[in-house]
Structure 1
Amino acid sequence: MSDLDVLSYYLGIDVRQRKEALTLDQSVYASKLLERSGMAECKPCVTSMEERLKLTKVSTVARVDATLYQSIIGGLRYLVHTRPDITFVVGYVSRFMEDPLEDHWAMVKRLLRYVKETVDQGNVFPKTSGSGLQLTVFSDADMTGDIDRRQSTSGVLVFLRSAPILWLSLK
């Protein structure tokens, strides 16, 4: 076995190891995904999805190329590894991979415009000098948000950050 030096790139993920933090991002991969989808020169967008948007599998709008749709969704699913901000929207548009319609594709294009706006974002893991870690978890669910199957969508957000150790006395 040989030492290949410090990890800097792995499976499309750029790894930057500095004294103060470890950074993971997929900006090159995201740019290639935008090119592959024909959205490299699109106008950027600051939100990934319209508020309160509900899509259905039953519609009268035209169908789109399912192979292209599935390919782009697959690319977005891989991008989620370093972009947790798009996880919900990618999961939502993944529901329509079997038979994508124009309004589904419009939502994917909106998401790609958001990716264009935030292409340089990634995960930053600050290095700590040891005093302990604090775990914070948030969860939420929409009640029967899927109008086709009448099922709920839930999500979880987990933060693990350095925090002082608290000693409690239970006397």
Structure 2
Amino acid sequence: MSDFGTLSYYLGIEVRQGKEALTLGQSAYASKMLERSGMAECKLCVTLMEEQLKLTKASTAAKVDATLYRSIVGGMRYLVHTRPDIAFAMGYVSNFMEDPREDHWAVVKRLLCYVK
């Protein structure tokens, strides 16, 4: 067994160790997600989702690229490890991975702005 020193980065999670606390973060991973989705230059969003937002699987909005939608939502689900505040919203938008529409994608884009 080898000693590699103090842990600072593991599986996309940044680890900062102090005398009083151990802090986990994923700012580099979040930045990669923003770049991959083309939202790196988006404006900041203070709220996670609109209040009383109702999305349905029977939406009549235009279809979006399902592969991109699944890739971004799946990648953002990994952020839940250090960002429990987005857990509910990620679970909600995950319901629409089978047939994503424009209104579903708009919510994912708002989540990305919130994460930024």
Which residue of structure 1 aligns with residue 11 of structure 2? 11
d(CA) in 2 for partners of 1:22, 1:70: 32
d(CA) in 1 for partners of 2:103, 2:59: 9
Which residue of structure 2 aligns with residue 140 of structure 1? none
Give the structure-2-normalised TM-score: 0.99
Which residue of structure 2 aligns with residue 50 of structure 1? 50
Partner SS state of residue 103, structure 2: helix
d(CA) in 1 for partners of 2:83, 2:68: 22
d(CA) in 1 for partners of 2:113, 2:26: 16
d(CA) in 1 for partners of 2:61, 2:84: 31
Counterpart check, 1:62 vs 2:62: yes
Tell me how far 1:59 sits from its aligned partner: 1.8
Which residue of structure 2 aligns with residue 128 of structure 1? none
Partner SS state of residue 14, structure 1: strand
- Structure-to-structure mapping, 1:90-109, within 5 angstroms: 90-109=90-109
Counterpart code for 2:100 = P
d(CA) in 1 for partners of 2:72, 2:93: 11
d(CA) in 1 for partners of 2:83, 2:72: 15
Tell me how far 1:61 sits from its aligned partner: 0.8
Q: Between Structure 1 and Structure 2, which shows a larger proportion of strand residues? A: 1
d(CA) in 2 for partners of 1:11, 1:59: 36
Runs of 4+ displaced beyond 2 Å? none
Counterpart code for 1:56 = T
Counting aligned pairs with the same residue, the percent is 79
CA RMSD of aligned residues (A): 0.5
d(CA) in 1 for partners of 2:97, 2:59: 15
Counterpart code for 1:91 = G
Tell me how far 1:69 sits from its aligned partner: 0.1
Higher Cα Rg: structure 1 or 2?
1
Counterpart code for 2:104 = H
Q: Between Structure 1 and Structure 2, which shows a larger proportion of helix residues? A: 2
Tell me how far 1:40 sits from its aligned partner: 0.3
Counterpart code for 1:21 = A
Partner SS state of residue 80, structure 1: helix
Give the structure-1-normalised TM-score: 0.67
Partner SS state of residue 61, structure 1: coil
Partner SS state of residue 91, structure 2: helix
Tell me how far 1:20 sits from its aligned partner: 1.4
Counterpart code for 2:18 = R
Deviations 1:141-161 (A, max 9, x none): xxxxxxxxxxxxxxxxxxxxx
